[in-house]
Chain A
């Protein structure tokens, strides 16, 4: 790259105004789009105050959301942490929508605004648009409209049926939110806009065909009992998406309650990709901002002072405390993502013999950004770590793996950063990012439709780790309330098929009506 120096830096000092934001954006855009060849949704940059940032925090970062006390709980916690100075606020928030909405805090200095525009408006934005998990699962175009619909619908329900009944359904649905996603894309991607339209249509249809006469028709003779397999088949069992199952088959739910379950389920589904790509998403954004900021500095577009301010913030973000430092709380997704991506860049440019052996496809490929763009598009955290965590990094971070077996009194160091350990460490770390392994595998397996309508749910216990009993009992109560009849949750060892434990819940009669 020919380094042609700019006449004057974009800014000196820390003040910014809207003209400057525009100039910063225009300086970054060619670097991101022409040189790095990123592919982004159009950007919308919104400046917000600290208070608004707090508001956004408490509705999972979304600009509009339905009302629920749990968001208030979030809000009071965040507010206190912020007021007491225990926790700062994020410099930005970015929403996976088309156009991509970037919230910038007004308190940021000019350098920080440059950083967050590079980070969010280009880094995250590119990732949202290109990563396969996002493409498969989320509908960036429709999300804001759908949230708008959800908010309105729930407000209408509150008007019609009262705040408390709606709150109960939402509480129960929230408890099952993690069990409200389809993990396999066998059902076509959601089109949230038409979802809203469909519900309106359904309602109109119900209104049109409503006839009070039906109520007076005598109930016919009971159908014969259906054999178990056929019954399960008809109900689509086993079903891992419990909210979906309830929505479709819950015998005692009103249609508005089903719709609320659907809303919660679709929103959970929208966030599902984010949970699978945290390290990659942040890594991609961090790598992008690092590249852009460095380029800006090389061309004299930002001053040395601003660059130092950036470096200080950047190193804070990608800091990974060691296990015994007292600050360790798991791997920092920024550090992990950025670390591996920088390492890939090194492997592309200056591969060692070891790299050539481990990464024959990318070693010495030269153009790191092209390689990374392919990775950003086609991997999620788990596959990303299991493919690209290099021995070099394992040594650099001095990773080691601990085994904690149930019956043993001591922990065992299972692998360290040596020839024997690289693959084991890599596999094990990748598993920590596999939500299929981290989250319990819970499925609705059967329901006794002809009898007492008892719902049977199974937890396939892996590695002997059972459910947290206190929470499980509470969630089961919620599930029973929604289902309307008894619910049994069996914890079954996935290897031996032995039943380890069983919880059950009965509906609270006061709940539904």
Chain B
């Protein structure tokens, strides 16, 4: 009997099969992931999760007898008081008398859990920041290594055997190191003479000479090494700094009193997705959170998503703040600047002019992309038309028409957040597979 400890064997044998399964059910899984997003709280947005897909999608058919019809007989344990010939009402479903309890989950849905990575991979699929153009070298950030010839010192794992052998050979030739074959030849001749019986007259002299030659050869071979430390060559690598595209995303959110809890939730969800997308897909993206009432403040992530301040509305205050931060920390020449703004569109009429001019003259020229998300009341989803446009929407509409990098969208319901988000950040040229 052998005992083998297999515990240390690499796990994840099923990983390939699992991936194939996900690929096979991809369309369904993706749909399920998107659906599941709208029921998640903001905190849990990026957690691993259980999803449910239609069983039909991944059904493996076999030829088997139908569950119904025909004459059947079956034996059961645990008779209490049935006598032969008793009639029993057919249980619901008409299927024999078999209780199907204990078979667990229902038949229509197939449930399983996705890991966090798989989950994010599926729902951030095909997204990118548009027009990420400005690249520059930033101190310390090193991305690539490249081959840089050979060196005489280095790590044993980087030893270049061909190079080393080549050098060793040329050194051996230059110093006339006797070959193994030379030694063998001399030794063979010595053996031949020694074995000669009776010896020839000049054998003794010849033998003497040969022995001397042999010791000479051996000495030279010992003195001149086959491979000498001076022959060693190592592959050399050097690190190269690569230009990095630095980007900053400004998240501007209206938290004024006119924003209902529902609207704030929509806006926060949008930003949570955005934040998740940026932190996962880009290493060098900074996020600046600004929320505003009639005054704007730069806040940290925690405050941004979970604070509950309220007040009046002054959109221009947020844009002022944005420009202030840009001047302070993000030189437009070095940084790709993105702006995402969410609001209910409720502004003071008097402020609109300033908002539009700030946007047109200061923000848009330095930004790669500006997205404006207007959140509306859920119950108004159907009745809101052109006639009921909000102040800010009306103000921004001409800006959007004039500038390709200014996009505005409106959402009313949680389920719209993800499609709109995708629409805003979809990689160019990728058609939406299923919304």
Q: How large is the interface on B (under 10, 10 to 19, 20 to 34, 35 or more residues)?
A: 35 or more
User: In whole angstroms, how far apart are the Cα atoms of A380 and B85 in the complex?
Assistant: 32
Q: In chain B, what residue has the closest Cβ to A176?
A: B63
The reply to whether A69 and B23 form a contact with Cβ atoms under 8 Å apart is yes
User: In whole angstroms, how far apart are the Cα atoms of A99 and B58 in the complex?
Assistant: 36
Specify which chain B residues have a CB less than 8 angstroms from the CB of A463 in the assembled complex: 70-72
Q: In chain B, what residue has the closest Cβ to A459?
A: B63
The reply to whether A475 and B97 form a contact with Cβ atoms under 8 Å apart is no
Cross-interface CB contact of A398 among B17, B79, B112, cutoff 8 Å: B79
Asked if A202 is an interface residue, CB under 8 A from chain B, the answer is no
Give B contacts to A, CB under 8 Å.
1-7, 9, 11-14, 16-24, 50, 58-67, 69-80, 82-90, 96-104, 110-113
Asked if A294 is an interface residue, CB under 8 A from chain B, the answer is no
Q: Scan residues 396-435 of chain A and give those whose CB is less than 8 A from a CB of chain B.
A: 397-406, 409-418, 420-421, 425, 428-429, 431-432
Specify which chain A residues have a CB less than 8 angstroms from the CB of B17 in the assembled complex: 58-59, 67-72, 75
The reply to whether A403 and B14 form a contact with Cβ atoms under 8 Å apart is no
A-B CB contact pairs (8 Å), 28 listed = A45-B1, A46-B3, A47-B3, A52-B11, A67-B16, A72-B14, A73-B21, A75-B14, A75-B21, A79-B113, A80-B50, A80-B113, A86-B104, A106-B7, A321-B78, A323-B97, A323-B99, A324-B80, A328-B101, A398-B78, A399-B75, A401-B75, A406-B70, A410-B87, A413-B88, A431-B73, A467-B64, A475-B62
Specify which chain A residues have a CB less than 8 angstroms from the CB of B4 in the assembled complex: 44-47
User: In whole angstroms, how far apart are the Cα atoms of A470 and B3 in the complex?
Assistant: 48
The reply to whether A465 and B3 form a contact with Cβ atoms under 8 Å apart is no
Specify which chain A residues have a CB less than 8 angstroms from the CB of B75 in the assembled complex: 399-402, 425, 428-429, 432
Please encode chain A, from 371 to 412, with 1 for each CB lying within 8 Å of some chain B CB and 0 for all others.
Answer: 000000000000000000000000001111111111001111
The reply to whether A402 and B7 form a contact with Cβ atoms under 8 Å apart is no
The reply to whether A178 and B63 form a contact with Cβ atoms under 8 Å apart is yes
Specify which chain A residues have a CB less than 8 angstroms from the CB of B101 in the assembled complex: 326-329
Asked if A258 is an interface residue, CB under 8 A from chain B, the answer is no
Give A contacts to B, CB under 8 Å.
18, 21-22, 25, 29, 42-49, 51-52, 54-55, 58-59, 67-73, 75-77, 79-80, 83, 86, 99, 103, 106, 121, 167, 171, 174-179, 320-331, 397-406, 409-418, 420-421, 425, 428-429, 431-432, 438-440, 442, 459, 461, 463-472, 474-475, 478
Specify which chain B residues have a CB less than 8 angstroms from the CB of A412 in the assembled complex: 85-88
Q: Which of B6, B59, B80, B83 has the most CB of A within 10 A?
A: B6
Cross-interface CB contact of B77 among A58, A320, A405, cutoff 8 Å: A320
The reply to whether B18 and A72 form a contact with Cβ atoms under 8 Å apart is yes
Specify which chain A residues have a CB less than 8 angstroms from the CB of B69 in the assembled complex: 406, 464-466
User: In whole angstroms, how far apart are the Cα atoms of A468 and B69 in the complex?
Assistant: 10
User: In whole angstroms, how far apart are the Cα atoms of A326 and B102 in the complex?
Assistant: 7
User: In whole angstroms, how far apart are the Cα atoms of A18 and B61 in the complex?
Assistant: 44
Q: Which of A179, A400, A405 has the most CB of B within 10 A?
A: A400
Cβ distance A458 to chain B, nearest Cβ, rounded Å = 12
Cβ distance A6 to chain B, nearest Cβ, rounded Å = 21
Question: Secondary structure of the A side of the interface?
Answer: mixed
The reply to whether A47 and B99 form a contact with Cβ atoms under 8 Å apart is no
User: In whole angstroms, how far apart are the Cα atoms of A400 and B73 in the complex?
Assistant: 10
Specify which chain B residues have a CB less than 8 angstroms from the CB of A99 in the assembled complex: 2
Specify which chain B residues have a CB less than 8 angstroms from the CB of A321 in the assembled complex: 78, 102
A397-B78, A463-B72 as given contacts; A402 in contact with B96, CB under 8 Å:
yes
Cβ distance A114 to chain B, nearest Cβ, rounded Å = 14
Interface pairs A-B: 8 shortest CB-CB? A322-B78, A72-B21, A465-B70, A72-B17, A464-B70, A474-B61, A76-B112, A323-B76
Specify which chain B residues have a CB less than 8 angstroms from the CB of A21 in the assembled complex: 3
User: In whole angstroms, how far apart are the Cα atoms of A167 and B16 in the complex?
Assistant: 13
Q: In chain B, what residue has the closest Cβ to A330?
A: B98
A67-B17, A471-B63 as given contacts; A399 in contact with B5, CB under 8 Å:
no
The reply to whether A44 and B1 form a contact with Cβ atoms under 8 Å apart is yes
User: In whole angstroms, how far apart are the Cα atoms of A506 and B263 in the complex?
Assistant: 54
User: In whole angstroms, how far apart are the Cα atoms of A67 and B20 in the complex?
Assistant: 9
The reply to whether B79 and A399 form a contact with Cβ atoms under 8 Å apart is yes
The reply to whether A468 and B65 form a contact with Cβ atoms under 8 Å apart is yes
Cross-interface CB contact of B88 among A22, A397, A410, A417, cutoff 8 Å: A410
Task: Supply 20 further A-B pairs (C-beta < 8 A) apart from A48-B6, A52-B11, A323-B97.
Answer: A18-B5, A22-B1, A46-B4, A46-B6, A49-B7, A55-B13, A76-B112, A326-B101, A328-B101, A401-B75, A411-B87, A411-B90, A412-B88, A428-B74, A438-B65, A463-B70, A465-B72, A467-B66, A468-B67, A475-B61
User: In whole angstroms, how far apart are the Cα atoms of A269 and B23 in the complex?
Assistant: 30
Cβ distance A17 to chain B, nearest Cβ, rounded Å = 10
Specify which chain A residues have a CB less than 8 angstroms from the CB of B90 in the assembled complex: 404, 409-411
User: In whole angstroms, how far apart are the Cα atoms of A171 and B72 in the complex?
Assistant: 31
User: In whole angstroms, how far apart are the Cα atoms of A67 and B102 in the complex?
Assistant: 31
Cross-interface CB contact of A175 among B14, B62, B78, B104, cutoff 8 Å: B62
Q: In chain A, what residue has the closest Cβ to B13?
A: A55
Q: Which of A69, A324, A406 has the most CB of B within 10 A?
A: A69
Cβ distance A260 to chain B, nearest Cβ, rounded Å = 16
A75-B17, A80-B113, A326-B102 as given contacts; A468 in contact with B64, CB under 8 Å:
yes
Specify which chain B residues have a CB less than 8 angstroms from the CB of A77 in the assembled complex: 110-112
A429-B75, A465-B66 as given contacts; A402 in contact with B14, CB under 8 Å:
no
A45-B2, A326-B99 as given contacts; A80 in contact with B111, CB under 8 Å:
yes
Cβ distance A167 to chain B, nearest Cβ, rounded Å = 8
User: In whole angstroms, how far apart are the Cα atoms of A171 and B89 in the complex?
Assistant: 41
Cross-interface CB contact of B97 among A397, A409, A411, cutoff 8 Å: A411
The reply to whether A465 and B62 form a contact with Cβ atoms under 8 Å apart is no
Cross-interface CB contact of A442 among B59, B63, B102, cutoff 8 Å: B63
Q: In chain B, what residue has the closest Cβ to A389?
A: B75
The reply to whether B88 and A72 form a contact with Cβ atoms under 8 Å apart is no
The reply to whether A404 and B97 form a contact with Cβ atoms under 8 Å apart is yes
Cβ distance B27 to chain A, nearest Cβ, rounded Å = 14
Specify which chain A residues have a CB less than 8 angstroms from the CB of B97 in the assembled complex: 323, 402, 404, 411
User: In whole angstroms, how far apart are the Cα atoms of A415 and B86 in the complex?
Assistant: 10
Cβ distance B55 to chain A, nearest Cβ, rounded Å = 10
The reply to whether B3 and A328 form a contact with Cβ atoms under 8 Å apart is no
User: In whole angstroms, how far apart are the Cα atoms of A86 and B69 in the complex?
Assistant: 33
Specify which chain A residues have a CB less than 8 angstroms from the CB of B87 in the assembled complex: 410-413
User: In whole angstroms, how far apart are the Cα atoms of A432 and B82 in the complex?
Assistant: 21
Q: In chain A, what residue has the closest Cβ to B104?
A: A86
Specify which chain B residues have a CB less than 8 angstroms from the CB of A177 in the assembled complex: 62
Cross-interface CB contact of A475 among B21, B63, B99, B110, cutoff 8 Å: B63
Q: In chain A, what residue has the closest Cβ to B76?
A: A323
Specify which chain B residues have a CB less than 8 angstroms from the CB of A398 in the assembled complex: 77-80
Q: In chain B, what residue has the closest Cβ to A336?
A: B77
The reply to whether B60 and A72 form a contact with Cβ atoms under 8 Å apart is no
Cβ distance A481 to chain B, nearest Cβ, rounded Å = 13
Specify which chain B residues have a CB less than 8 angstroms from the CB of A22 in the assembled complex: 1, 3
Q: Which of B74, B75, B90 has the most CB of A within 10 A?
A: B75
A43-B1, A327-B101 as given contacts; A404 in contact with B61, CB under 8 Å:
no
